[in-house]
Amino acid sequence: MPDILLQKRLYDELAAADGDAADGYYRHAGPGFRLRRVAEAVDRHRPQVLLDAGCGDGVLMAEIERSSAVLCIGVDLSEVSLARAKGRGLAVCGDLAHLPLKAGTVDVAVAAEVLEHVDSPDEVLAELRLVLKPSGRLIATVPVADWFKLIKGALLRAPVKYLDQLTHRREWSAVGFGAYTDIRELFSIIATTGYSIRLLRGIFYYGWRMERSVDDWYLAGRRRCRTLWRLDSLLGRLPLVRCLGKYLLIEAAPR
């Protein structure tokens, strides 16, 4: 059986077992912060046509459509996820390396927590480059080793696990160690597939041992949420530490 069909079966099984990400995963502080940061980045460009590559349950499309009039097109491999996404945007089943879209028709392409799941990020990025308009933007987020994992893995040479070793092909780090890949390799892939990086932002600066406390604050009320949001925003803009958050947001333009 071709690998793409094996991947499809895996993601269908996971989607069926995990339930709707809007009800579970995105309620937590880290994923919630990332969702809002991506939606903000998209809104700055005021696109008419948005591609959500690897849209999953369509949570990002729903978030974007709440604040702007934009045609959201979501492409994903899992039909189980797409069944939930259909009420949140135009959802299409497809392979990200062979998108069912015409060249030069998309204003903003989003790949949120996608590039770590695919076998060939360069193929996916090249395909996204093809469907983008010359004035378009790529907005991508990837998981990176947070400061606790970085210290443990890079300094103590201790084994560190991925967030999800079942589906993740790779994860990145500010410094390569063990099975983690130096984030500069991803920057190189982005450059060689025809983009120039315009903006980098870190997201969620709380080690995994602190996440439960942060979640309690995040869910406790608007005032606490605003405090955490501002602190996270400040840290994410600092060049020396932006690759030490749990996620890295990359904005790139076609060359």
Residues 6+ apart with CB under 8 A from 206: 29, 30, 146, 214, 246
Residue-level pLDDT at 108: 98
Taking the alpha carbons at both ends of the chain, their separation in whole angstroms is 37
Options 3.90.1150.10, 3.40.50.800, 3.40.50.150, 3.50.50.60; CATH for 3-254 is 3.40.50.150
Beta strands in 59-131 (DSSP E): 71-76, 90-93, 106-112
Residue-level pLDDT at 126: 98
| pLDDT-based confidence at residue 162 (cuts at 50, 70, 90) | confident
Residue where the block lists tokens 């809002």: 36
User: pTM for this structure?
Assistant: 0.93
Render pLDDT for 12-31 as a digit per residue (tens, 0 to 9): 998 999 888 888 889 889 99
Render pLDDT for 43-59 as a digit per residue (tens, 0 to 9): 999 999 999 999 999 99
Mean pLDDT, rounded, for 98-121: 95
Residue-level pLDDT at 150: 87
Residue-level pLDDT at 1: 41
Render pLDDT for 216-250 as a digit per residue (tens, 0 to 9): 888 777 677 888 899 999 999 999 889 989 999 99
Residue where the block lists tokens 């300094």: 155
Residue-level pLDDT at 227: 86
